[in-house]
Amino acid sequence: MCVCGLRKGENGSVTENPDVEKDFPAVLTFKGVSVSLENNNVWKQFYSCGTEMILTKQGRRMFPYCRYRLAGLDPNQQYNLVLSIVPLGQYRYRWSASRWEVTGRAEHQNQGLIRAFSHHYSPCRGSDWMNSLVSFYKLKLTNNSQDQDGHIILHSMHRYIPRLHIIPVPDGGMPTNDNPVVMGHESMTFTFPQTEFMAVTTYQNFRITQLKINHNPFAKGFRQDGNNPRLNRIAREDQPMVKAEYQPLVLKPAEPSENQEELNCWKYLIKIPLPHAAPSQIKEFCTEIMTESTCLVSITNINFYVSYSANSHSPSASPSNVQETRLVLKPIMSNPASKDDPYVPCIRGKHALGELVLVEPKEESNATSAAPEVQEGLKVWLSPKARSVTPNSSTSTPVSSPRFRKRRKRINRRWANSRGREYKTAAAYSTVVHSPSLTVAMQPEMDDIEGLLFVSFASKVKR
């Protein structure tokens, strides 16, 4: 597992249920009270990529949010249910290329600003809490230290973890401003390690954005289901007269960043309709990138994200049908995270020169629990359904280098990282990149798959 945020035993008041998965307990039990994380599967998916939560001035809901089922409470006892979000670790982070790096000590958490969020049903009888799911969807996160709306105030680029407090209410005790909820000795605290997250003001990891879009109903407008006018429009502009079935669709190419004093840096996001992202095309495309790049630039990293749903040509396909596969190429060893800081949420597999790794998609229930297989060269695994081998004809449709160059145009600076400081670390590792040997293992049954291959990579040029 690439993220191991919370050490076991960090919350001394919680014991793990031995029946559940060791690192991701879906149920925690303490003093006869058990709490299960209802949306554990979603949390695990996010966790495996390194969950990020947006902070805004006016307050932003969490997604996923904390949703629990309670058991073992005294049915007649009144309880307050309170969620607090506490700092995890004492570092500040930054997103560098494709991973989180420590940048320094954490910002001091002003004690006066630490808040907890009382569930809107509080207080309630134990039987009431146990009869329904307890969702903290109303909780909002903010980076505004002056916030007057009772939102949880957090620091961007810091790690946090939510904690659920079950607080028995003494008879007749309604919380007031003068007499607030007090954590007595009878209180219980439950912390699920998989709910850890990084607070951000803008998403850093592309995979997190995709997970949010795929799972959050409010982000449905950004889903790639063929009905999205926004995305269709981009598609038309970018490939006006090329035969669509063979031409990779370049969605977000970037020009060099503004900061050209020492280094140029590009970051690309390319979408290829999956039926045409046959392994041989992936191979060609990689070769394309490498040959175009070797003479002038060194590529710091390449990430492939294949997002597809098997056997679901309906636009209304359930998000849960969507599987994700990640292909990681690390031509250059970038600054590895220290052993002391295991927070490396994005890159899995070996960080070796020229290694291309495709992470096999898992079944929904355990989508993120297993470590990926690492193989030499480029190997492609797809879902078992898609695994049957068919002849591959796409070698006849090479992607020409000039065409890719032409397609570059300016995009959001977010993709053209302009922080020169970041390059200096990487530059120390940068030399000429050699094209890795790419061998394709399998050709999937493309008819069964629809989706997209996302390719993003960053490169830089020494001036």
Partner DNA sequence: TCTTACACCTT
Partner DNA sequence: CAAGGTGTAAG
CA angle 296, 103, 151 (to 5 degrees): 120
Q: Is 110 in the site for DNA (CB under 7 A)?
A: no
218 contact partners, CB below 8 Å, separation of at least 6? none
Residue 137: closest CA among 160, 119, 159: 119
Backbone φ and ψ for 345, nearest 5 degrees, come out as -75, -20
Residue 372 token pair:
């990926």
What number of other Cβ atoms are within 10 A of residue 105's Cβ? 9
Backbone φ and ψ for 325, nearest 5 degrees, come out as -130, 140
Binding mask 28-67 for DNA (x = CB under 7 A): --------------------------xxxx--xx-x----
Q: Is 130 in the site for DNA (CB under 7 A)?
A: no
Residue 251 to residue 454: CA distance in whole angstroms: 9
Q: Is 411 in the site for DNA (CB under 7 A)?
A: yes
Q: How far is the CB of 440 from DNA (least distance, A)?
A: 30
Residue 27 token pair:
């149920």
Give whole-number Cα distances, 59 to 129, 164, 211, in Å.
Answer: 26, 20, 21
Q: How far is the CB of 117 from DNA (least distance, A)?
A: 14
Answer for which of 156, 321, 369, 392 binds DNA (CB under 7 A) is 156
Q: Is 143 in the site for DNA (CB under 7 A)?
A: yes
Of 39-47, 189-197, 203-211, 287-295, the segment contacting DNA by CB under 7 A is 203-211
Q: How far is the CB of 292 from DNA (least distance, A)?
A: 24
Residue 249 to residue 112: CA distance in whole angstroms: 51
Of 185-193, 224-232, 275-283, 325-333, the segment contacting DNA by CB under 7 A is 224-232
Chain-centroid distance of CA 202 in Å reads: 12
Residue 91 to residue 78: CA distance in whole angstroms: 38
Q: Is 391 in the site for DNA (CB under 7 A)?
A: no
Answer for which of 34, 77, 187, 201 binds DNA (CB under 7 A) is 201
Q: Is 218 in the site for DNA (CB under 7 A)?
A: yes
Residue 137 to residue 375: CA distance in whole angstroms: 41
Q: Compute the Cα dihedral for 69, 73, 75, 78 and give only its sign.
A: negative
Nearer to DNA, 217 or 402 (CB): 217
296 contact partners, CB below 8 Å, separation of at least 6? 461
Specify which residues 450 forms β-bridges with.
Answer: 309
Q: Is 294 in the site for DNA (CB under 7 A)?
A: no
Nearer to DNA, 281 or 309 (CB): 309
Nearer to DNA, 184 or 221 (CB): 221
Q: Is 9 in the site for DNA (CB under 7 A)?
A: no
What dihedral do alpha carbons 151, 155, 158, 163 form, nearest 10°?
Answer: -20
Q: Is 212 in the site for DNA (CB under 7 A)?
A: yes
Q: Is 120 in the site for DNA (CB under 7 A)?
A: no
Answer for which of 24, 46, 79, 95 binds DNA (CB under 7 A) is 95
Q: Is 228 in the site for DNA (CB under 7 A)?
A: yes
How many residues of this chain bind DNA (CB under 7 A)? 40
Nearer to DNA, 106 or 411 (CB): 411
Q: How far is the CB of 240 from DNA (least distance, A)?
A: 18
Of 208-216, 329-337, 383-391, 448-456, the segment contacting DNA by CB under 7 A is 208-216
Backbone φ and ψ for 104, nearest 5 degrees, come out as 165, -170
| Residues near DNA, by CB under 7 A | 54-57, 60-61, 63, 94-95, 143-144, 156-157, 200-204, 209, 212-213, 216-222, 227-230, 234, 252, 411-414, 418-419
